[in-house]
Amino acid sequence: MKKTIFSITAVAISTTMLISCGGAKKGGDSGGALSGKNAEKVYVAPGEYDEFYAFISGGFSGQLSVYGLPSGRLFKVIPVFSQDAEKAYGYNEETKPMLNTSYGFIPWDDAHHPDLSQTKGVIDGRWCFINGNNTPRIARIDLKTFETTEIIEIPNCAGNHSSSYVTDNTEYVIAGTRFSVPVPQKDMPISEYKGNFKGMLSFLKVDQETGEMDLSFQIMMPGFDYDKAHPGRGKSHGWFFFTTYNSEEAASLLEVNASQNDKDFIAAVNWKKAEEYIKEGKFKTMPAKYAHNIYDEGTQMATSTMEKDVKVLDPAECPGLVYFLPTPKSPHGCDVDPTGEYIVGSGKLSANVTAHSFTKMLDAIKNEKFSGEAYGIPIINFEDVLGGTVVQPGLGPLHTEFDNNGYGYTTFFISSEVVKWKVGTWEVVDRKPTYYSPGHLMIPGGNSQKPWGKYLLAMNKITKDRYLPTGPELCQSAQLYDITGEKMELLSDFPTIGEPHYAAGCPAELIQPNQQKIYKLEDNKHPYAAKSEKESRVERNGKDVHIYLTTIRSHFAPDNIEGVKVGDKVYFHVTNLEQDYDVPHGFAMIGANNSELLIMPGQTETLVWEPKQVGVWPFYCTDFCSALHQEMQGYIRVSPAGSSTALSWSLDGE
């Protein structure tokens, strides 16, 4: 106990010192030929393109942002788990079902780890997956449209943190629970945690054609915290690795009680074996309620289906399915090098970076070199699996990414630096400060078999004194390093949205050529679409009024609507008739308890408005669409409830 307090104090002191040092040092960095040269390295001239896309999670903003590298320019914020009033995501009738869960509509989540789809261990630019941490969910973003097209909820889980990572051929996306919970949930004393709470690891099969995910099976693990995960690569393809902490199974004051064991584990899961067990029927079907939401590009509408059960494997009954690899004290990061040989676990409370050897692991399993077992899961002898140790490279190692030249790069949260080390010899080659407290780092393709080792992006939690202050709330930041040389070089830093938790990156050429420019009107299967001005109309169905509205530069059709009454529920179904790249139209209605709509060419979106006051009320286009954008407006007349004003609509009096 005493020791813990001492170490916490030490950490606090060192953090403070490093921050003040960093501040003082900063002056020395600016100016001079060196930084001039670095400015050139990140300069992308007007009209030219960045070389890489970076998909940076927004952490507690629930979104995913798209940046260009090396410029650090922000291109788009893709709404995933949070409502976005700018794009009506989660506000319009089409996308509301995307945020449905077994708990009902949840308009927010904590988005952590984006990962790009791969083919043969190489990033292919088809989809981006990202996890929702709080209400366990995995989302899929289609990189043709940069839209969230699927969200699946993960049952029997809590704190969906060790996800979402994909296997070499995107066979599976995995989702591991950070918090263990009673499975199935029940009313029980928290003090009876040990032995009763369970941690679920979920495997979501991905359809190679559509990208659609299916919760294929779950593995019910002991009640540890499953923190981070990484699929095997190349030679270790077929395995998945998860770091654990709280192997003590504490339920209270974890900062102390989960920091007692000298070693926790990396859980090595043989998912090919799991597939066999599933085929053999060794699973238990458990009732489970979870939402599966899919956005259909044809109908342009999301549907939410509630699933009812899930197949669960118990590792104690499935020999060879899971092994524990002891790893020094509370490992956080779990990263596999591009060859698939080394599984790197950084003990955030240990000073060392530990690399397990996959070959040695297989050998130990074959020769049954076990030091014991936990809940029926064999524990491999630490010495028999250890591949190497980077000794004391810094304070608080977190995450490691790899380049294509056999080097690993690890972030150090407490000592605020990135350390470059050689895979195999474990010697430290270089270290560079970051400002400040980096969590993850990203090298484009750095978690795949083929990294593009040109840049390294460190994602930092603290930026005080780095930028103009903005009140108590300061931005977080990403810092770009050139890693083409023996020594790393800090090139630039740029602010990010929310918390830049983790990022995925790849060359722009993998994504750029496949971009969809418009939605074809003839493919629009939205049931409320009006595909020409002739089809625009207003229909009443009891108290529901459906307005089939069209937009084109620079008018709505119809633009005069009468016969709506107080107490009605008005559906504006707005179809953008444009078939021209980069010409969305917006739609905003005064007094709507809702957001605007932002409708892409060829798309239909629906806004619900419940008029509460008699009068004549305007609506207008919110996205500057043309020279006559300001004229793009219309009126809707609202009569008293029960009035006899006939339903009518017109454009230019016709």
Partner 1 sequence: MKTSKIIMIVAALLPLILFFLPMWTIQLSAPQYPDPLEMRIFITKIDGDLQSINLMNHYVGMKMIPETIPEFEFFPWIVGGMILLGVVIGLIGNRFLFLIWFWVSAILGCFGMYDFYKWEYDYGTSLNPKAAIKFMDEAGKLITYQPPLIGTQTILNFQATSLPAIGAYVLFLGMVLSIVAYWVGRYEAGHKFPPL
Of 429 and 508, nearer to partner 1 (C-beta) is: 508
**Residue 552 lies near partner 1 (rule: CB under 8 A):** yes
| DSSP element (H, E) containing 280 | helix 271-280
Beta bridge partners of 637: 616
Identified binder of partner 1 from the candidate list 468, 627, 646, 653, rule CB under 8 A: 627
Q: How far is the CB of 580 from partner 1 (least distance, A)?
A: 5
Q: How far is the CB of 334 from partner 1 (least distance, A)?
A: 45
**Residue 553 lies near partner 1 (rule: CB under 8 A):** yes
Q: Which residues from 444-463 bind partner 1, rule CB under 8 A?
A: none
Of 112 and 555, nearer to partner 1 (C-beta) is: 555
Q: How far is the CB of 582 from partner 1 (least distance, A)?
A: 9
Region binding partner 1 by CB under 8 A among candidate stretches 179-187, 340-348, 441-449, 579-587: 579-587
The span from the CA of 345 to the CA of 342, in Å, is 10
Of 512, 514, 506, 513, nearest to 54 by C-alpha is 506
Of 371 and 579, nearer to partner 1 (C-beta) is: 579
Please give the sequence-ordered ranges of beta strands (E in DSSP) within 443-595, or none if there are none.
455-460, 476-482, 489-496, 503-507, 537-541, 544-552, 555-557, 560-565, 569-576, 585-589
Contact 177, 226 (CB under 8 A): yes
**Residue 628 lies near partner 1 (rule: CB under 8 A):** yes
Region binding partner 1 by CB under 8 A among candidate stretches 4-12, 61-69, 495-503, 623-631: 623-631
Beta bridge partners of 420: 409, 430
Q: How far is the CB of 577 from partner 1 (least distance, A)?
A: 8
Render the burial of 388-416: b for 16+ CB within 10 Å, e for the rest.
bebeebbbbbbbbbbbeeebbbbbbbbbb
Amino acid 492 reads S
Of 282 and 553, nearer to partner 1 (C-beta) is: 553
Range list of H helices, 142-197? none
φ and ψ at residue 236, rounded to 5 degrees:
-100, 15
Region binding partner 1 by CB under 8 A among candidate stretches 174-182, 289-297, 492-500, 577-585: 577-585
**SS3 at position 582:** coil
- Which residue do the tokens 């599984």 mark? 343
Region binding partner 1 by CB under 8 A among candidate stretches 12-20, 199-207, 350-358, 573-581: 573-581
Contact 625, 619 (CB under 8 A): no
Contact 426, 389 (CB under 8 A): yes
Q: How far is the CB of 517 from partner 1 (least distance, A)?
A: 9
**Residue 624 lies near partner 1 (rule: CB under 8 A):** no
Q: How far is the CB of 377 from partner 1 (least distance, A)?
A: 59
Contact 106, 151 (CB under 8 A): no
Region binding partner 1 by CB under 8 A among candidate stretches 61-69, 157-165, 407-415, 578-586: 578-586
What letter does residue 630 receive in the DSSP assignment? G
Of 578 and 605, nearer to partner 1 (C-beta) is: 578
CB atoms < 10 A from the CB of 286, how many?
16
Q: How far is the CB of 553 from partner 1 (least distance, A)?
A: 5
**Residue 580 lies near partner 1 (rule: CB under 8 A):** yes
Adjacency order of strands within the sheet including 370-374: 225-231, 239-245, 263-270, 322-328, 377-380, 370-374
Q: How far is the CB of 75 from partner 1 (least distance, A)?
A: 18
Region binding partner 1 by CB under 8 A among candidate stretches 185-193, 361-369, 375-383, 576-584: 576-584
| DSSP element (H, E) containing 52 | strand 52-57
Adjacency order of strands within the sheet including 585-589: 597-599, 585-589, 615-620, 633-639, 560-565, 648-650
The span from the CA of 522 to the CA of 499, in Å, is 41
124: region left, alpha or beta (phi > 0 left; psi from -120 to 50 alpha): alpha
Q: Which residues from 251-270 bind partner 1, rule CB under 8 A?
A: none
Of 45 and 253, nearer to partner 1 (C-beta) is: 45
**Residue 45 lies near partner 1 (rule: CB under 8 A):** no
Identified binder of partner 1 from the candidate list 43, 49, 581, 624, rule CB under 8 A: 581
Q: Which residues from 379-398 bind partner 1, rule CB under 8 A?
A: none
**Residue 579 lies near partner 1 (rule: CB under 8 A):** yes
Region binding partner 1 by CB under 8 A among candidate stretches 109-117, 248-256, 299-307, 624-632: 624-632
Please calculate the CA angle 187-189-194 and round it to the nearest 5 degrees.
115
Of 188 and 628, nearer to partner 1 (C-beta) is: 628
| DSSP element (H, E) containing 285 | strand 284-296
Of 368 and 582, nearer to partner 1 (C-beta) is: 582
Of 461 and 553, nearer to partner 1 (C-beta) is: 553
Six token digits for residue 580: 């021209």
Identified binder of partner 1 from the candidate list 578, 596, 605, 623, rule CB under 8 A: 578
- Which residue do the tokens 């005080």 mark? 464
CB atoms < 10 A from the CB of 563, how many?
19
Of 392 and 630, nearer to partner 1 (C-beta) is: 630
Binding mask 335-374 for partner 1 (x = CB under 8 A): ----------------------------------------
Q: How far is the CB of 300 from partner 1 (least distance, A)?
A: 20
The span from the CA of 70 to the CA of 43, in Å, is 7
Render the burial of 149-158: b for 16+ CB within 10 Å, e for the rest.
bbbbbbbbbb
Of 7 and 532, nearer to partner 1 (C-beta) is: 532
Q: How far is the CB of 651 from partner 1 (least distance, A)?
A: 14
Of 177 and 550, nearer to partner 1 (C-beta) is: 550
CB atoms < 10 A from the CB of 170, how many?
22
Of 49 and 581, nearer to partner 1 (C-beta) is: 581
**Residue 531 lies near partner 1 (rule: CB under 8 A):** no
Region binding partner 1 by CB under 8 A among candidate stretches 49-57, 61-69, 197-205, 571-579: 571-579
Region binding partner 1 by CB under 8 A among candidate stretches 207-215, 243-251, 412-420, 622-630: 622-630
**Residue 633 lies near partner 1 (rule: CB under 8 A):** no
Tell me, by CB under 8 A, how many residues bind partner 1: 10
Beta bridge partners of 506: 53
Q: How far is the CB of 626 from partner 1 (least distance, A)?
A: 8
End-to-end CA distance of the chain: 82
Q: How far is the CB of 552 from partner 1 (least distance, A)?
A: 7
Contact 592, 520 (CB under 8 A): no
Beta bridge partners of 214: 205
Q: Which residues from 119-178 bind partner 1, rule CB under 8 A?
A: none
Chain residues that interact with partner 1, rule: CB under 8 A: 552-553, 577-581, 626-628
